């Protein structure tokens, strides 16, 4: 199976792997190896180019541990929960909703899947029993009561542990808490975008499927603050005509299949709430294409049951070997966060913009890092039966290296020439690596399987005419170019 071959490649080349494995496996924690780190950094860099730079956003870095009042205000202490059910036989905990989703997914029953997110604990419990769903661990169908489980990781601050705190489950709360200070010291005006990327922590009941459901992972978030009474002012970036004409694949509430819809039509029909939501939707679609996802393999799903803080939600979902998975969420949070933190702290968090006092509303785009990275690898994985090895058709902007530089043989003259070219490219800040180990065919194969777009071979003709062979990863064709043309 394709997924088995992909997972073998990920493990063999060390893209990422189970953390602290020498002490036994603890689910939901992964470490990244050198190749995985490069792809991950490139993914974050593409996010910065797409959102931070295009929107003229201010990027911040806030703490990962926060005191309890922050999460009282945000609602995480009461609402950040999943339905927990424990197998009565083997005592393994599971998410009740995910057990049902997997059961109905195997049956191809999309209608029943759509009803799950609306079910309360009692309904989930009855559904498990009625369908005699079996425990994935032991194979028995003896589940206990479905209970509410809070996903926050609790900690204590100070030498006596007197100050309760929590590891952040998302990055935005730091932005909301700091918003007024940031707005003042940076002389901001509405609308304004503030962005952040970093680690977050969720005590998942049953982490699984590689980096899809983890307990420690990374997020990339953009918060757009705006005056809800100002419908004309916009952010930096593409103009509204371009945004409104952009078509995206959308799965609307009650629909069975996605359809291509102009963003302007969604805005006109008030399916989406405002121009800031439309702009982020447009940029998000471009981001999905830049990551290597093809039309027909991803969609924007209108969320039927929105979270307590939101008035409108669209999730970007990508089809993978594990079926559709959510990669990001776009939400209209209104003034929920700022008004909640103002009430909890007793501080006025409204700001003055254009001589008007405003408590801004917020549109938020939250994108994972680890899930998209897996989904990208899954999307670009080629089994390579014609080559004899599997390989990755990574977009060049995500590839760990642009070039591999190889001397044809371990001849001192070839090696010296190859190392000189390698050093030249490094000095030009071109992502490149050098290898002289193994046959040239094996080196091509190793470069292909980590997604390197081009391999440069230094051969004996290079010594006489200063040209090199450049091999293209995608079609394996080779051309000769002057060393001076390589950049």
What is the dihedral angle through the alpha carbons of 129, 135, 140, 143, rounded to the nearest 10 degrees? Answer: -40
Whether 90 and 6 map to the same domain: the answer is no
Structural Rg of the chain based on CA atoms: 25
pTM for the full predicted model: 0.93
DSSP string spanning 368-430? ESHHHHHHHHHHHEE--TTTTS-EE---TTTSS-SEEEEESSS-HHHHHHHHHHHHHHHHTT-
Same domain (yes/no): 458, 409:
yes
Boundary of a domain, candidates 344, 379, 414: 379
Q: Does residue 472 contact residue 453 with C-beta atoms inside 8 Å?
A: yes
Domain shared by 375 and 436, yes or no: no
- Check if the beta carbon of residue 191 is closer than 8 Å to that of residue 240: no
* Cβ contacts of 439-445, under 8 Å, gap ≥ 24: 440/406, 440/408, 443/404, 443/406, 444/471, 444/476, 445/387, 445/388, 445/389, 445/391
Same domain, 226 and 349: yes
Same-domain status, 101 and 42: no
**387 domain-assigned:** no
Is 109 part of any domain?
A: yes
What does the mean pLDDT of the chain come to? 94
Q: Is the domain of 122 the same as that of 136?
A: yes
Same domain for 123 and 39? no
The pLDDT of residue 156 is 93
Strand-pair category, 81-86 with 58-59: unpaired
In a domain, 408, yes or no: yes
Kindly report the length of the chain. 487
Beta carbons within 10 angstroms of residue 355's beta carbon = 5
Q: How far apart are CA 159 and CA 140, in angstroms?
A: 46
Q: Is the same domain home to 287 and 328? A: yes
Number of compact structural domains in the chain = 3
Are the C-beta atoms of residues 166 and 71 closer than 8 Å to each other?
Answer: yes
Residue 134 is given by DSSP the state P
Read off the CATH number of the domain in which 429 is found: 3.40.50.800
Q: Are residues 455 and 375 in the same domain?
A: no
Q: Residue 120 domain-assigned?
A: yes
Q: State which H helix or E strand residue 470 sits in.
A: strand 467-472
Are residue 351 and residue 477 in the same domain, yes or no? no
Side-chain half-sphere exposure of 273, counting CA atoms within 13 A: 21
Domain containing residue 161: 2-67+155-379
Residue where a domain stops, chosen among 112, 129, 150: 150
User: Which two tokens mark 362?
Assistant: 């917020």
The answer to whether residues 121 and 171 belong to one domain is: no
* Tens-digit pLDDT string for the chain (487 aa): 789 999 999 999 999 999 999 998 788 999 999 999 999 999 999 999 999 999 999 999 999 999 999 999 999 999 899 999 999 889 889 999 999 988 888 888 878 888 898 899 999 999 999 898 989 889 887 888 999 999 999 999 999 988 999 999 999 999 999 999 999 999 999 999 999 999 999 999 988 788 999 999 999 999 999 999 998 888 888 899 999 999 999 999 988 899 999 999 999 999 999 999 999 999 999 999 999 999 899 999 999 877 777 889 999 999 999 889 999 999 999 999 999 999 999 999 999 988 899 999 999 999 999 999 999 999 999 998 899 999 999 999 999 999 999 999 999 999 999 999 999 999 999 999 999 999 999 999 999 999 999 999 999 999 999 999 999 999 999 999 999 999 8
Angle between helices 34-47 and 275-290 (to 10 degrees): 150
Among 150, 182, 200, where does a domain finish? 150
- Check residue 107 and give its pLDDT: 85
Can you read off the two tokens belonging to residue 30? 């992964």
**94 and 114 share a domain?**
yes
């Amino acid at each position: 199976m394709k997924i088995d071959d992909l997972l073998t490649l990920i493990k063999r080349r060390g893209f990422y792997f189970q953390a602290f494995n020498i002490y036994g496996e603890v689910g939901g924690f992964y470490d990244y190896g050198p190749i995985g780190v490069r792809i991950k950094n490139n993914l974050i860099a593409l996010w910065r180019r797409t959102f931070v730079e295009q929107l003229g956003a201010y990027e911040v870095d806030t703490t990962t541990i926060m005191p309890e009042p922050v999460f009282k205000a945000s609602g995480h202490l009461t609402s950040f929960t999943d339905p927990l059910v424990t197998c009565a036989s083997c005592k393994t905990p599971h998410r009740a909703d995910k057990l049902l989703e997997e059961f109905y997914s195997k049956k191809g029953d999309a209608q029943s899947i759509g009803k799950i997110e609306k079910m309360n604990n009692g309904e989930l419990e009855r559904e498990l029993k009625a369908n005699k769903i079996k425990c994935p661990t032991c194979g028995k169908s003896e589940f206990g009561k479905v209970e509410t489980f809070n996903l926050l990781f609790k900690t204590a601050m100070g030498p006596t542990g007197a100050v309760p705190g929590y590891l952040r489950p998302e990055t935005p709360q730091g932005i909301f808490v700091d918003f007024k200070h940031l707005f003042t010291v940076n002389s901001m005006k509405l609308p304004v975008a503030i962005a952040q990327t970093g680690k977050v922590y969720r005590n998942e009941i049953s982490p699984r499927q590689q980096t899809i459901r983890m307990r420690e992972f990374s997020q990339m978030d953009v918060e757009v603050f705006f005056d809800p009474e100002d419908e004309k002012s916009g952010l930096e970036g593409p103009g509204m005509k371009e945004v409104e004409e952009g078509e995206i694949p959308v799965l609307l509430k009650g629909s069975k299949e996605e359809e291509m819809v102009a963003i302007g039509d969604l805005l006109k029909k008030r399916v989406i709430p405002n121009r800031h939501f439309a702009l982020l939707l447009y940029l998000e679609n471009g981001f999905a294409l830049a990551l290597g996802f093809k039309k027909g393999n991803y969609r924007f799903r209108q969320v039927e049951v929105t979270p307590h803080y939101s008035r409108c939600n669209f999730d970007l979902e990508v089809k993978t070997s594990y079926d559709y998975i959510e990669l990001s969420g776009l939400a209209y949070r209104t003034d929920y966060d700022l008004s909640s933190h103002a009430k909890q702290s007793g501080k006025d968090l409204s700001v003055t913009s254009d001589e008007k006092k405003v408590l801004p509303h917020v549109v938020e785009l939250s994108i994972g890092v680890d899930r998209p990275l897996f989904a990208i690898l899954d999307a670009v994985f080629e089994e390579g039966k014609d080559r004899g090895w599997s390989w990755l058709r990574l977009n060049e902007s995500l590839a760990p290296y642009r070039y591999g530089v190889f001397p044809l043989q371990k001849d001192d003259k070839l090696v010296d020439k190859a190392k000189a070219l390698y050093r030249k490219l490094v000095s030009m800040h071109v992502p490149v690596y050098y290898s002289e180990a193994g046959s040239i065919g094996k080196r091509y194969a190793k470069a292909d399987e980590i997604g390197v777009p081009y391999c440069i071979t230094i051969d004996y003709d290079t010594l006489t005419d200063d040209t090199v062979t450049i091999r293209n990863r995608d079609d394996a064709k080779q051309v000769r170019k002057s060393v001076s043309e390589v950049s």
